[in-house]
Amino acid sequence: MRRFKRAGNPKSAIRNPKSGAFRIRRGQVVLPENSIVRAIADYCRLVLRAEVYDNRKNGTVSFLEKGKQRFLRFGGGAGWPDLFVFLPGGRTLFIEAKARDGRQTADQHYFQQRAAQLGHWYTVAHSPEEMQAFLDARVREERATHAN
Shared-domain flag, residues 84 and 15: no
Shared-domain flag, residues 75 and 2: no
The CA–CA distances, whole Å, from 62 to 19, 20, 45, 70 equal 20, 18, 13, 6
| Mean pLDDT, rounded, of the chain | 78
Lowest mean pLDDT: which of 51-60, 75-84, 106-115?
A: 51-60
Q: How many domains does the chain have?
A: 2
Tens of pLDDT along 20-30?
455 666 666 66
Supply the pTM of this predicted model: 0.72
**3-class state of residue 21 by DSSP:** coil
Look at residues 51, 116, 47 and name the one whose alpha carbon lies nearest to residue 87: 51
Beta-carbon count within 10 A of 72 CB: 12
Tens of pLDDT along 4-17?
333 333 433 344 44
Domain range enclosing 22: 1-30
Which CATH number characterizes residue 45's domain?
A: 3.40.1350.10
Name the residue type at position 78.
A
What is the distance between the alpha carbons of residues 115 and 83, in angstroms, rounded to a whole number? 13
